[in-house]
Amino acid sequence: MTIPQRIACLSTEAVDTLYRLGAQDHIAGISGYTVYPPEARAQKPKISGFSSMKIEKILAVRPDLVIGFSDLQKPLLDECAAAGLATLCFDQRDLAGIHAMVLSLGALVRREAQAEQLVAALQQAQARIAAAAAALPWQPRVFFEEWDEPLICGIGWVSEIIQLAGGVDVFAERAKAGFARQRIVTHAEVLAQAPQLILGSWCGKRFAPDRVLARPGFAALNARLIEIKSADILSPGPTAIERGAAQLLAAIQTTVGVPSA
């Protein structure tokens, strides 16, 4: 198979991974939501949002492949395909899926050895998180709030990270749903679960604890409220494991009274 030389990355984790593999020269354009690595924003043209784009911007960077993620970006990839562009859609929803995505991108750009090394490093990071979690005196109930209006609980890999870090995801079953609308929860459902830790990661905007506490009944939970930046945990790539999981562990350690490393 021909190695793609000009990849348009509509998903931020693809950008992060290709840089980590030393394959950044293959990237022709990136999502405007890209945060990691920081140099990507300076080095690569921004060609799309997450769920929106203008085909003219995509075509302008002359891609030989367009990469996207999930059902939310499938319409964008369909538009690219209609314009004659090759496309690739990933749909990783758990940690094993993140590893598989890394290996697939490595094979795509002939960086198999680098991809295997990256996966090994991610697995080691997960093992360190799990070891620290095993030392916790108790497991707090955790509500991960991905969005506030409507209230949306965490997605699959986030739920898995909560459990890896020694927490109990109060909506673990809901996290398995394929669509965001299937992860909508009510205030009453959250209150019924009595979370001891509420993690806010409002995708694309700053978490506002005061607004959470203003909801009827939420202040009485006496839950600890902590923000994890969406760029650190809501993109299903290496950063979610290396940065997001570490922050989540620290939040759980703080909640149970164990000093974080």
Q: In the chain, what are the domain boundaries?
A: 7-91, 120-256
pLDDT greater than 90 at residue 45: yes
As a whole number of angstroms, the distance between CA 25 and CA 105 comes to 14
| CATH code for the domain defined by 120-256 | 3.40.50.1980
As a whole number of angstroms, the distance between CA 121 and CA 245 comes to 14
pLDDT at 213: 97
H-state helical runs in the chain: 12-20, 38-43, 55-60, 70-82, 95-108, 112-134, 156-164, 187-193, 209-213, 230-233, 238-239, 245-256
pLDDT greater than 90 at residue 13: yes
pLDDT 10s digits, 105-163: 999 999 999 999 999 999 999 999 999 999 999 999 999 999 999 999 999 999 999 99
As a whole number of angstroms, the distance between CA 11 and CA 234 comes to 11
CA angle, 10 then 152 then 76, to 5°: 20
Residue type, 82: A
- The predicted model scores a pTM of 0.94
- Hey, what are 232's tokens? 């650190």
Count how many Cα atoms sit within 13 Å of the Cα of residue 138 in the half-sphere of its side chain. Answer: 8
pLDDT greater than 80 at residue 261: no
The pLDDT confidence band at residue 50, using thresholds 50, 70 and 90, is confident
pLDDT at 180: 84
pLDDT at 256: 96
Average pLDDT over residues 187-202: 98
Average pLDDT over residues 172-200: 94
At the topology level, CATH places domain 7-91 in Rossmann fold (3.40.50)
As a whole number of angstroms, the distance between CA 169 and CA 185 comes to 13
- Intrachain domains 7-91 and 120-256 with the same fold: yes
pLDDT at 203: 86
pLDDT 10s digits, 106-120: 999 999 999 999 999
Q: In angstroms, what is the C-alpha Rg of the chain?
A: 19
- Hey, what are 245's tokens? 């999981």
Looking at every residue in the chain, the average pLDDT score rounds to 96
